[in-house]
């Protein structure tokens, strides 16, 4: 039930929300207006800093968020031609993610909210990804099946309406983005290598390396990618490291991942009876996956939606959007600075 302030806000025709994302290695800030849409967004990626270590170093991530968040906030305000006094609420990523990194966004968000006397809301990072296509001109309608593919998650979610998320399938081991990153590392592509692996695969010859399609012969909607990753390691070590071989391995790997995801998506659509598919998270930027799922949706007479390329990966816009929807419904966080590093999408409270 919305409180009296919430009811008041529900009657408010326009809400301008500042969104802050700091769950991992990207600082994202955005302003979303319930009437005018996305006004501005900025992102600072720490990727170069972590690449030196071959993965995200949590303590370095927290410190860099501290350094970048205020300058980024100033830049977003300027770009939106907004001032802090125009802000009606603050949304920040409360989880899941790295605890120290999350604490930076939560502290800044809560402090600004307190100073301005506006409500704040902690947002679930994956709900942000899942609803990122809502920022596009032609957004999906509820209900839909969502395929969430990121560095930490591979999930199929039945989304009946805003705030109602039923997990249909999940990764039993490595997430799909993680499998991309580890295989990219084996191929000498640096970190995070998902996009670089996809680029290398463009030069690959199909059929030279046939990777397994894990768990597709078993019923159910869960995923396991650690076998593909091991197969990639064995293939890399037992072949010469020339550039054509590497490209062929990259393509074999990508084809297996894309096929496996498509098979499970088809099953999830059948099981739900829904006619709309949403694909989101960092790996939804992958062009082969997009092509395959577009073809599948045509065959199955289903509509498919993706976020624009830059909103596939982490960003502040998706957090501002979700926060705005929840604040409009009268939800808000308490004053304390609380984050939830491990948080299932099924445990999001229905708005």
191 binds, among Zn ion, ligand KG4, none (CB under 5 to 8 A by kind): none
The partner residues of 131 in beta bridges, in order of sequence, read none
Contact call for residue 195 and ligand KG4 (CB under 6 A): yes
Contact by Cβ (8 Å): 189, 181? no
**Least separation, in Å, of the C-beta of 70 and ligand KG4?**
23
| 95 touching ligand KG4, by CB under 6 A | no
Q: State whether residue 24 is helix, strand or coil.
A: coil
Q: What is the largest CA-CA distance in the chain?
A: 68
Q: What is the strand order of the sheet 303-305 is part of?
A: 164-169, 154-161, 144-149, 276-280, 303-305
The answer to whether residue 25 forms part of the interface with Zn ion (CB under 5 A) is no
DSSP code for 285:
G
CB of 174 to ligand KG4, least distance (A): 10
Question: Please, which residue, 195 or 216, has the CB nearer to ligand KG4?
Answer: 195
> 144-149 and 16-21: which strand pairing?
unpaired
CB contact at 8 A, 60 and 49: yes
Residue 315 touches Zn ion, criterion: CB under 5 A: no
Q: Does 150 bind Zn ion (CB under 5 A)?
A: yes
Residue 64 binds ligand KG4, judged by CB under 6 A = no
Residue 47 is a binding residue for ligand KG4 (CB under 6 A): no
Contact yes or no for 306/265 (Cβ under 8 A): no
Which one, 235 or 313, has the nearer CB to ligand KG4?
Answer: 313
Q: Contacts with ligand KG4 in 175-194 (CB under 6 A)?
A: 177, 180-181, 192, 194
Closest CA to 276 of 126, 161, 153: 161
Which of 281, 307, 323, 330 is in the footprint of ligand KG4 by CB under 6 A? 281
| 151 contacts ligand KG4 (rule: CB under 6 A) | yes
Interface map 2-31 toward ligand KG4 (x if CB under 6 A)? ----------------------x-------
| Of 127 and 314, CB closest to Zn ion | 314
Of these partners, Zn ion, ligand KG4, none, which one is at the site of residue 333 (CB under 5 to 8 Å by kind)?
Answer: none
Closest CB to ligand KG4 among residues 33, 314:
314
- DSSP-assigned states of every residue in 125-151: HHHHHHHGGGGSSSPPPSSEEEEEESS
Q: 203: which DSSP letter?
A: T
- Among ligand KG4, Zn ion, none, what binds residue 152 when CB lies within 5 to 8 Å by partner kind? ligand KG4
Closer Cβ to ligand KG4, 183 or 325, answer by number: 183
Strand pairing report for 120-124 and 89-95: parallel
CA distance 72 to 67: 9
When the beta carbons of 102 and 328 are compared against Zn ion, the nearer one is: 102
The owner of tokens 């397994």 is 212
Are the C-beta atoms of 56 and 25 separated by less than 8 Å? Answer: yes
What is the rounded CA–CA span in Å between residue 144 and residue 285?
Answer: 19
314 binds Zn ion (CB under 5 A): yes
**Binding residue (CB under 6 A) for ligand KG4 from 28, 109, 119, 152:** 152
Give, for 28, the enclosing helix (H) or strand (E).
strand 26-33
Tell me if 286 contacts ligand KG4 by CB under 6 A. Answer: yes
Interface residue list for Zn ion (CB under 5 A): 150, 314
Interface residue list for ligand KG4 (CB under 6 A): 24, 129, 150-152, 177, 180-181, 192, 194-195, 198, 281-283, 285-286, 313-314
């Amino acid at each position: 039930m919305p409180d009296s302030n919430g009811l008041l806000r529900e009657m408010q025709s326009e809400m301008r929300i500042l969104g802050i994302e700091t769950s991992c290695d990207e600082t994202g800030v955005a302003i979303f207006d319930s009437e005018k849409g996305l006004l501005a967004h900025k992102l600072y990626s720490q990727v170069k800093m972590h690449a030196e270590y071959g993965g995200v170093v949590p303590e370095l991530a927290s410190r860099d968020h501290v350094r970048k968040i205020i300058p980024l906030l100033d830049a977003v305000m300027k770009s939106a031609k907004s001032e802090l006094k125009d802000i009606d609420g603050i949304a920040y990523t409360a989880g899941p993610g790295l605890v120290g990194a999350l604490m930076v966004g939560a502290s800044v968000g809560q402090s600004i909210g307190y100073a301005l006397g506006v409500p704040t809301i902690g947002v679930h990072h994956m709900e942000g990804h899942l609803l990122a296509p809502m920022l596009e001109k032609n957004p999906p309608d509820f209900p839909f099946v969502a395929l969430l593919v990121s560095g930490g998650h591979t999930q199929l979610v039945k989304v009946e309406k805003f705030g109602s998320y039923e997990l249909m399938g999940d990764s039993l081991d490595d997430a799909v983005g993680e499998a991309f990153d580890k295989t990219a590392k084996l191929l000498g592509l640096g970190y995070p290598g998902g996009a670089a692996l996809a680029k290398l695969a463009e030069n690959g010859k199909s059929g030279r390396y046939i990777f397994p399609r894990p768990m597709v012969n078993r019923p159910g909607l869960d995923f396991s990618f650690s076998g593909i990753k091991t197969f990639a390691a064995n293939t890399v070590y037992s072949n010469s490291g020339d550039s054509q071989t590497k490209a062929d391995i990259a393509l074999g790997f990508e084809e297996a991942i894309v096929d496996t995801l498509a098979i499970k998506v088809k099953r999830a659509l059948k099981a739900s009876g829904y006619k709309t598919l949403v694909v989101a998270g960092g790996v939804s930027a992958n062009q082969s996956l997009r092509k395959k799922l577009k073809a599948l949706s045509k065959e199955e007479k289903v509509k498919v939606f993706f976020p624009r390329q830059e909103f596939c990966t982490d960003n502040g816009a998706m957090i501002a959007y979700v926060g705005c929807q929840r604040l409009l419904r009268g939800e808000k966080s308490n004053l304390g600075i609380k984050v939830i590093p491990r948080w299932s999408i099924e445990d999001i409270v229905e708005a």
